[in-house]
Each structure stands twice: as structure tokens, then as C-alpha cells.
Structure 1
Amino acid sequence: MPTFPAVRPSALLAILLACAGLPARAATVPDTLAQRLAACISCHAREEKRDAYFPRIAGKPAGYLYNQLLNFRAGRRNYPLMTYMVAHQSDAYLAEMADYFSRLAPSYPPLAGQSASATQAQLARGQTLVEQGDAERKIPACTACHGATLGGVQPAIPGLLGLPGDYINAQFGAWRNHTRHAAAPDCMAGIAERLSVTDVAAISQWLSRQPVPADVHPAARPARPLPLACGSMADSAQRP
């Protein structure tokens, strides 16, 4: 059986870079948080040719981002790549990641074509649910938690504007199918259970068609007590 000489790690890296068409000096990069999180930005912050299932995370409340990282690590959210990335990270480092992205200014390009058509009746139903809810089925308005401008609320409620309809629809589907969870009490799981499939489609279609104001940002605090108990708000208060 043939034997091969030992290769120093630095030499091996140079070989790999050469095969990739990169100069060896590209191996020397600054060890900054921005550099370490560049892989996240490649999926979550690109404005052109973005996959509809990768949401923007720039500018979202740090508490919300931290909670989602915890949820992936704990198995309450299921996406193998994210689970792998955070599996062995400490709470403190996840909090640092969340803080970094919360400070980035989000960028919203003009509304692009939608992946699905919507009738006026469907959009009207979506607007009603977002702005008024459905008292008979104990469904609060989206604005009651996510803010009057739907820009989110500190410390842990995300904005709902600038998200693709497919992504919003998929998240509701995950809650309805019990494949996405949050800290108990899981307020969104309860709401998703009360919404019909047609209502979910109406909400996702209406939200995804709304322009994003230039000055949209998370509110400093809820304007009034939240209509439902939400474990995520409590979790964010205990972050490192």
C-alpha cells in the first residue's frame, strides 16, 4: 500500500486555495465577528436572487434573533444547517451574534413579483386579520403584538414587513404541523391553530405586498399589554 509524506496544515490550506483559484494570502483574514458571520450574510442579507425561505435578519430585535438561535439549538426549530451551525455555541456567543445582526441596517428593494396570485377578497381578509384580528375565534390582530407599523417591538417581537409570502406561509405551516416551537407559552402556536389554511394564505399574501417605510424599525416597547402570554418575551429578558 503506498505511503504519502505528511503535509503541514498551512501547506494543505495553500493547496486547497490554489485548487479553488484563490491566492494563498487569502488565508489570512481578520478575526472579526463580521468575518465569522459572513456565511450568514450570504443567505440572509443578499437582496438579489434571494431564496424566498431565507428571511432578512438585519435590524430585527436582538432578543428575537437570540431566541431563534436558542430554538434551533434546542430543536424547537428544525433546519439542519442552522442546527449544525449553533449546536456547540455558547449562550454568550449566540447573544453576540444576535446583537451584531440587530445593529445592521436592513435594506428593502422594491416589491418584486409575487409567487402566487391573490384575489381582492383574499387581500381584504388578510388586511382585516392583520389589523383587527378575529375576536370570535380569539385571534388577536398582528398589529397588537408586532406593532402598529408592523416593524416589530423590542426586545423580542420581529417585524413582519419585507418578508416573502412563501416564507410567512411556511412558518405558519410549521406551527400548524407542530414542527416549529418556541418557549412556553408558545403564543404563535396557539394563534396558528385557530387560523384556517385560507386565512394563513390571506395574511401571507397581504403582508408580502406591503411597502416598507424608509424609517421602519422596532418600537421601543409594546404600546399596550400583549393580548397573549408569550414565553419568548420572558426568554429574551434572561439572555446573557
Structure 2
Amino acid sequence: MYRTGIALLGALFLLQTAHGQERTDAIPAFKKLDSIEARVQGCVTCHGQLGQGTANGYFPRIAGKPSGYLYNQLVAFRDGTRSYPPMNYLVAYLPDAYLKEIAEHFSAQRPEYQPAEKTTADPAAEQRGLLLATVGDAAKGVPACVACHGKSLTGMDPGIPGLAGLRTAYIAGQLTRWRVGERKAADPDCMKRIASRLSDADIAAVAAWLSRQAPRADASPEPSNLVRMPLACGSQR
């Protein structure tokens, strides 16, 4: 554990250099070197000391997300089924037990949300985003975001992430990656099916609408509702 903690601390400073700036919310807040707080310093460089995310939108909030979801993503980055070089490098040699520890740590965090993003949208786009997020589009076979990600958009146990607190650029980027096949999940890949049915305008509208929603104070995921999900998702088995 000691050597792994040192390796992550080294990765922290490598990532700071790679991004060309110091992150004031990533100042180490640990007292013991051999602690989970110390060992996740490579994570907080981009995601914030408590996983609260950053205002620029490209480093998402991971705090409070179901531990099952966070663990699945860490495994995907480690095994190369999800591609983002800094993350692939950071977790390349970490064992399952360590990844679970990291996932459980950030899942338990409840920092305040960043202020909701202030974006502008024409009335038609605003209405389209609202419709896709809360009702869906039956003609396209697209269920509402809230049907899986929760009425308050805080996710659902055991492995569906919250969308609350995410920025437009991140949401749009992930939907686009799913649509073009750059991001994948276990078959049947429900997000691939949904994203492939969305137009560019749909993605822009729903991403902007979601980013403008003020999250509730309690960021806890909703209880499992997998038996009543609108689509079968292989990643949730």
C-alpha cells in the first residue's frame, strides 16, 4: 500500500504538469501517508479533493455516485475498454480490491455541488431537452433520462451514475462517444442504443438542460429499480 500511495502521489504531479496548471481544490488534505485519502491524490488532481468535479466540465463529479458504477469505470479504464490516456495510465496496474476501495471512498463523499451551469437555449431546444430528460421520445425508442438515472438525477444503486452536477460539455461528449462507438459497456449496451437514436441537436438540447438543473441537497442514489428499467443493460447485471 505504501508504494502504491507514493505512485499515486507521483501521478498527481504528473497530471498537474500535463494539464499545465495547479488545481487549488486538490491540495492534499491527508495526515497519514498510508491512508485512503493519501492514496487517492492522483484522482483528486482532476476530480477535486472530495470528488466534487471542476467548473470547466471536462472532469466530472464522481462524489456520491454508486460505488458499483465507479468500480466498473475504473476497471474499464484499467483494462482499456474505456479510453482516456491519463486515466488508463493512472490505474493500469491497480488490482480489483484497490479499485473497489477507491470507488467506495468517493461514493461515500457528499461535498457541495458546483453552482449549476448557466447556459442559454432557444425555447425549442429548452423544450426538447426537458422532454428527453423527463418523458423521453417514444417514436425514437428513447426512454427518459430520469427513468434510469433517478427522478432527482442522482443515480440508482447498484451501478447507474447520477447526472446531477455534470456540465454540458461532459454530457454531450459522453453521449457522442457512445453514439460513435468510442465508449462501450457490456451487452446489451443500453446507452449505445439510446445515444445512436439521438441527433446532434437532441444531444445538445438534453446535455444543456441537464447541466442547468439545481441538484437536491441529498446526493444519495435512489434504491435499485433494475427490474423495472425501460431497457436491459448488461452493465447492471
Cα separation, partners in 2 of 1:224 and 1:49, compared to 1, 3 Å: closer
Percent of aligned pairs sharing the same letter:
49
Counterpart position of 2:115: 110
Match of 2:93 in 1: 88
Which has the higher mean CA deviation after the structures are superposed, 35-44 or 154-163? 35-44
Deviations 1:195-238 (A, max 9, x none): 1110000100100011111123201211861111111111xxxx
- Structure 2 unaligned spans of 5+: 1-30
Q: Is 1:71 equivalent to 2:76 in the alignment? A: yes
1:221 matches 2:224: yes
Matched residues in 2 for 1:85 and 1:215: separation?
A: 30
CA contact 2:46–2:54 (8 Å) conserved in 1: no
After superposing the two structures, state which structure 1 stretch, 42-51 or 64-73, moved more.
42-51
With normalisation by structure 1, the TM-score equals: 0.80
One-letter identity of the residue aligned with 2:81 = R
Indicate the residue corresponding to 1:204 in structure 2: 207
Equivalenced residues, count: 205
In the alignment, which residue of structure 1 is the partner of 2:65?
Answer: 60
Matching residue's letter, 2:91? V
Higher relative contact order (CA 8 A, sep 6+): 1
Does the CA-based 8 Å contact 1:166-1:204 persist in structure 2?
A: yes
* TM-score normalised per structure 2: 0.81
CA distance in 1 between partners of 2:117 and 2:199 (Å)? 27
Counterpart position of 1:182: 185
Tell which structure's C-alpha radius of gyration is larger: 1
Helix, strand or coil at the partner of 2:136: coil
2:45 is aligned with 1:42: yes
Is 1:76–1:179's contact at 8 Å kept on the other side of the alignment?
A: no
Contact 1:45 1:58 in 2 (8 A): no
Contact (CA 8 Å) 1:147, 1:222: kept in 2 or not?
Answer: no
